[in-house]
A and B are shown apart, each in its own frame.
Chain A
Amino acid sequence: MKQGNEIDKLFRDAVYDHETPVPEFVWEGIQEKQRSFGASVLHKLQQKWGLIALLTFLGLGCSYIGLSYAGSWNKTAALSDVNGIASPLASLSAGQGQLATNANAQKVDQQQYDEEHPSQLVSDNQNQITAVQKGKADPANKEQKSSNPINKRTTANSGQTVRLVQKKQGKIRNNDFRSQINSSSLTKGTVSNPAVKGSSLKLGNANEHALSASLQSNRSDSKQSAGSTSQEYGRKAAFASKRDLLSNKDDRNLANISKLASLQALSIASGKGFTQQKEQQFTKARANECFPELIKAKMLSLELFVSPDNVSRELLTYDPALQEHVEQRLNSEARRLSWSAGLRLDIAVHRNLHLKTGLGYAQINELFRHTGEEKTVTTTTIEETEVNGQIEIDTVYTVENWQRVVETGNRYRFFDVPLILSYEAKFGRLSLSANAGTVFNIFFTQTGRIFSPEESEPTPVDIRTDGESPFFRNFNAVSLYGGIGAYYKIADGVELMAEPHVKYMLEPLNKVSYSVEQRYQTVGINLGLRYKF
């Protein structure tokens, strides 16, 4: 029994430099193909008409979106986004700089405010008098104090001693909602949110060969030397016809028969040795140049990815009565980093053409922050103290500036089914793909707060009537998706993937009853793995 290497050597030495006589029609075919090379380029373009049409469609779509943005911002120049939520194109709007109001500029340094306006500390809006016995704390009052999330600073009345009655900071947390009442000296609240040839083409080749053979046969009547060439053409045509029949398994027996026939036609030539020097030279030379265009033959792949998303928001209304409300929302809502994740099944429908579908989750994060008007509250406390048998009475005035700050993390959650067409080309370990398609939303839910259009007060969006939000729909029809994917093979069947992408919502998220159009466009990069089955 020969070892594997011996078998290899036996065949290598015998066949590496083996030569086979080449029929004349092969050279004629080469000349013909060279002449039609220019035409074949056009033919390839025709074969890829689908891809070209898709790219054209995408280009037109992007142009339309761009024009829509420009138009919408001209209409709603007064609704410019001060928090940078709105479309990036909004920054190009001429009206923005003049009409935008910076919410941050309205913030007042409370400590400085107290120092500059001491008189207001005395102008009480609310007074409260509490009698406190010396050394005896009222249990009820104590409990009230311990649970009171208020920071207090006391100021003595007309030169009297200043006492710190209570200093405590507290927070009320309810999910992401935080209501906080600050004293005048309290620092600002912080935000803490959690190409296969078709059979017709082959038949075309076969017919072509047959026709050529026929023509050549006619010519051979007058040329004796052309007789052998005619036979070669005939044989070529027969082989091509048989090859075209290989679409089912039974017909492959014909191919085997023709294979035997073709082998008999081979002439025997002496083989020259496969020297070690030649082997090394050849191996080095081909190292980085082989296989420039590889074709995916794997049918199924699975992609798992996450993506940090940068989201731009479009907030529009055509109702003049709601313009102030929209401006209020623009001032109170700020974008935060969003993200998405997904699982996609990649099906090769053609050599380079793939269809991708699966399930995706996207979460858009925003911060709602509202600072209410400042209120001054003075509390008067009378304390009785027994000193050497005498009772002294102190009157303590506690002045507080209250300001309500509401912070909520708004979350818009989307459960999607993408349907994406992808054209993929492989370059060694690296594959590049152009992806375009639609994303169908199957469920959309939201939590957080926005300003109510009627009362201008923060209102939860997740308080639902009959299971529905008063502002938003339960699903958001269709989005357009486009991306450029790069895959790098790291192991057998496993590839790293990076896919920068954009997604644009075709329809706004709001209900018809809430006539403020809210839609998003997302720019992100899918990072993950692709596994080939």
Chain B
Amino acid sequence: MQELDLIEGCIRKDARCQRLLYERFAPKMLSVCIRYARERSEAEDILQDAFVKVFNNLEKFEHRGSFEGWIRRIMVNTALKYYRKLRFQMEQSGLDYSNDEPVMPTAETELSAQDLISIISGLPDGYRVVFNMYAIEGFSHREIAEALDIKESTSRSQLVKARKMLQGLVTERQKVRL
């Protein structure tokens, strides 16, 4: 079924079309959510919420850009919403959300996409979100600052620190492989 037919079917609340659309995009979008979430279950929650938004707002899709890009934006926005909620809770409770000890990835024989995702997931929250937005999604620092309600300088410094930490983790992983 063509993408356009799928969209129209979903707008008509056709359950079969919704299922097909979900099956087409969910695997890729789950990867996006995993990169932003702190854990797998949170990523699945984000995916659920984001797909509900997709189905409820499909009539707003204007067919200007790619449909996948539109869905991806909803995923990222939903993930950021989770992140901001988390950060607000941390600030309210006086916890420092930026100094989490990173989770060391398990040793693997080669650096696959899964390895790299696990490395990203090991970053502290602030580093992870900024790195994902800047390096993977291609946002500018200004856009990141707007989205996260932080200063641009903070975004830059988080990115530098994230890169440095990733560099160390990748090097360590490569040493294990050797």
Q: By the criterion CB–CB under 8 Å, are A266 and B117 in contact?
A: yes
Residues on A with C-beta less than 8 A from B70 are 285
Q: Given A8-B135, A263-B106, A282-B72, answer yes or no on A18-B31 (Cβ-Cβ < 8 Å).
A: yes
Interchain CB contact (< 8 A) of A15 among B35, B51, B152, B170: B35
A432 contacts B by Cβ under 8 Å: no
Q: Nearest chain B CB to A128's CB is how many angstroms away?
A: 79
B151 contacts A by Cβ under 8 Å: yes
B8 contacts A by Cβ under 8 Å: no
B13's closest neighbor in chain A, by CB? A34
B101's closest neighbor in chain A, by CB? A256
Q: Nearest chain A CB to B162's CB is how many angstroms away?
A: 9
A8's closest neighbor in chain B, by CB? B135
Residues on B with C-beta less than 8 A from A8 are 134-136, 163
Q: Nearest chain B CB to A28's CB is how many angstroms away?
A: 9
Q: Given A37-B56, A262-B39, A266-B114, answer yes or no on A252-B106 (Cβ-Cβ < 8 Å).
A: no
Residues on A with C-beta less than 8 A from B76 are 290
Interchain CB contact (< 8 A) of A249 among B43, B87, B95, B167: B95
Residues on A with C-beta less than 8 A from B111 are 14
Residues on A with C-beta less than 8 A from B72 are 282
Once bound together, how far apart are the Cα atoms of A197 and B39, in whole Å? 18
Once bound together, how far apart are the Cα atoms of A2 and B111, in whole Å? 15
A342-361 CB mask vs B (1 if < 8 Å, else 0) is 00000010010000000000
A196 contacts B by Cβ under 8 Å: yes
Q: By the criterion CB–CB under 8 Å, are A286 and B73 in contact?
A: yes
Once bound together, how far apart are the Cα atoms of A348 and B91, in whole Å? 11
Once bound together, how far apart are the Cα atoms of A93 and B84, in whole Å? 54
Q: Given A20-B34, A27-B19, A351-B85, answer yes or no on A297-B48 (Cβ-Cβ < 8 Å).
A: no
B86-105 CB mask vs A (1 if < 8 Å, else 0) is 01110101010000110101
- Which chain B residues numbered 76 to 130 have a C-beta less than 8 Å away from chain A? 76-77, 80-81, 84-85, 87-89, 91, 93, 95, 100-101, 103, 105-106, 111-114, 116-118, 120-121
Q: By the criterion CB–CB under 8 Å, are B27 and A290 in contact?
A: no
Q: By the criterion CB–CB under 8 Å, are B138 and A259 in contact?
A: no
Q: Given A7-B135, A266-B40, answer yes or no on A15-B120 (Cβ-Cβ < 8 Å).
A: yes
Q: By the criterion CB–CB under 8 Å, are A259 and B40 in contact?
A: yes
Residues on A with C-beta less than 8 A from B157 are none
Once bound together, how far apart are the Cα atoms of A12 and B147, in whole Å? 21
Q: Nearest chain B CB to A81's CB is how many angstroms away?
A: 48
Count of B interface residues, CB-CB < 8 Å: 77
B48-60 CB mask vs A (1 if < 8 Å, else 0) is 1101100110000
Q: By the criterion CB–CB under 8 Å, are A259 and B106 in contact?
A: no
Interchain CB contact (< 8 A) of A243 among B41, B47, B95, B159: B41
Q: By the criterion CB–CB under 8 Å, are A20 and B84 in contact?
A: no
B3 contacts A by Cβ under 8 Å: no
Once bound together, how far apart are the Cα atoms of A351 and B88, in whole Å? 7
Q: By the criterion CB–CB under 8 Å, are B48 and A285 in contact?
A: no
A299's closest neighbor in chain B, by CB? B91
- Which chain B residues numbered 15 to 71 have a C-beta less than 8 Å away from chain A? 19, 22, 26-28, 30-31, 34-35, 38-44, 47-49, 51-52, 55-56, 64-66, 69-70
A370 contacts B by Cβ under 8 Å: no
Q: By the criterion CB–CB under 8 Å, are A268 and B114 in contact?
A: yes
Q: By the criterion CB–CB under 8 Å, are B88 and A27 in contact?
A: no
Count of A interface residues, CB-CB < 8 Å: 81
Q: Nearest chain B CB to A289's CB is how many angstroms away?
A: 6
B7 contacts A by Cβ under 8 Å: no
Once bound together, how far apart are the Cα atoms of A533 and B81, in whole Å? 21
Q: By the criterion CB–CB under 8 Å, are A263 and B73 in contact?
A: no
Q: By the criterion CB–CB under 8 Å, are A262 and B106 in contact?
A: no
Once bound together, how far apart are the Cα atoms of A341 and B41, in whole Å? 50
Q: By the criterion CB–CB under 8 Å, are B121 and A22 in contact?
A: no
Interchain CB contact (< 8 A) of A34 among B42, B52, B69, B118: B52
Q: By the criterion CB–CB under 8 Å, are A239 and B40 in contact?
A: yes
Interchain CB contact (< 8 A) of A290 among B31, B51, B135, B147: B147
Q: Given A11-B136, A37-B56, answer yes or no on A266-B34 (Cβ-Cβ < 8 Å).
A: yes
Once bound together, how far apart are the Cα atoms of A243 and B40, in whole Å? 11
Residues on B with C-beta less than 8 A from A297 are 84, 87-88, 91, 148-149
Interchain CB contact (< 8 A) of B52 among A33, A197, A265: A33
Once bound together, how far apart are the Cα atoms of A332 and B93, in whole Å? 59
B160 contacts A by Cβ under 8 Å: yes
Interchain CB contact (< 8 A) of B160 among A4, A17, A33, A492: A4
Q: By the criterion CB–CB under 8 Å, are B152 and A7 in contact?
A: no
B11 contacts A by Cβ under 8 Å: no
Once bound together, how far apart are the Cα atoms of A295 and B83, in whole Å? 10
A223 contacts B by Cβ under 8 Å: no
A428 contacts B by Cβ under 8 Å: yes
Residues on A with C-beta less than 8 A from B51 are 30
- Interface, chain B (partner A; CB < 8 A): 19, 22, 26-28, 30-31, 34-35, 38-44, 47-49, 51-52, 55-56, 64-66, 69-70, 72-73, 76-77, 80-81, 84-85, 87-89, 91, 93, 95, 100-101, 103, 105-106, 111-114, 116-118, 120-121, 131, 134-138, 143, 145-149, 151-153, 159-160, 163, 166-167, 170
Query: What are 16 A-B interface contacts by the 8 Å CB criterion?
Result: A7-B135, A8-B134, A8-B136, A15-B117, A15-B136, A19-B28, A30-B51, A236-B44, A239-B39, A242-B41, A247-B93, A260-B106, A279-B138, A282-B137, A295-B84, A348-B88
Give the 8 A-B CB pairs with smallest separation, nearest first: A262-B40, A285-B65, A239-B41, A19-B27, A8-B135, A271-B113, A492-B151, A268-B114
- Interface, chain A (partner B; CB < 8 A): 1-2, 4, 7-8, 10-12, 14-23, 26-27, 29-30, 33-34, 37, 195-197, 235-236, 239-240, 242-243, 247-249, 252, 255-256, 258-271, 274, 279, 281-286, 289-299, 348, 351, 426, 428-429, 489, 492-493
Given contacts A243-B39, A297-B148, 12 further A-B pairs with CB under 8 A are: A17-B28, A19-B27, A22-B44, A23-B44, A30-B51, A248-B93, A262-B39, A263-B117, A265-B40, A294-B146, A297-B84, A351-B85
